[in-house]
Amino acid sequence: MCVGPELLSGLGAAFGAVSSISQGQAQSDAYSAQAKAAEQNAATASKQAEISAQAGAQEEQRVRNRTAQIAGQQKVGLSASGLDIATGSPLDILTETSTQGNIDALATRRNAAQQTWGYQAEQTNYQNQASSARASASNAQTAGYMGAVGSLLTGATKQQEMYSKRKKVGFK
């Protein structure tokens, strides 16, 4: 009794199934690593957004403090010159200092908000990349299993064909 072709066909199907599973797992592992890297990048971007917001608030306060200091020096200087700081040009100077200081502080706040928003957008992009990579990892693993099933079914079909041919010619 010759079992060579059937055995080889069965082994080929088994190796094909194992190979499909291994390839699917390797791809899944690669996508999982990409997802982990993207998650780490998202965490970094989140921290950068937090730091940016805090730094922006501190810088805005520094600008406001500097403006208040300048206005205080102006009041002292104008008063020392004998000018009434509640009217006329001295009041205009103090008002302009306050206005410009407020404009600078608001510009600082806006710049920090834009930078923070950029980091938040980056974080969202990395989170989306991680999600996509996790889905790809799952799909790769499923594809590996489906490929294994396909190899086994192909092997079983070949086994059946060989058995049918042998039976027709009188071999068992």
Count of domains forming the chain: 1
80 part of a folded domain: yes
Question: Mean pLDDT of all residues in the chain?
Answer: 91
71 part of a folded domain: yes
21-53 confidence digits (pLDDT tens): 999 999 999 999 999 999 999 999 999 999 999
20 part of a folded domain: yes
Q: Domain range holding 16?
A: 9-168
103-113 confidence digits (pLDDT tens): 999 999 999 99
Banded pLDDT at 1 (limits 50, 70, 90): very low
In degrees and rounded to multiples of 5, residue 68 shows phi and psi of: -65, -40
Burial per residue of 83-107, b for 16 or more beta-carbon CB atoms within 10 angstroms, e otherwise = bebeeeebeebbeebeeebeeebee
Region 149-162: mean pLDDT is 85
Residue 8 has pLDDT above 80, yes or no: no
Banded pLDDT at 171 (limits 50, 70, 90): low
Quote the pTM value. Answer: 0.73
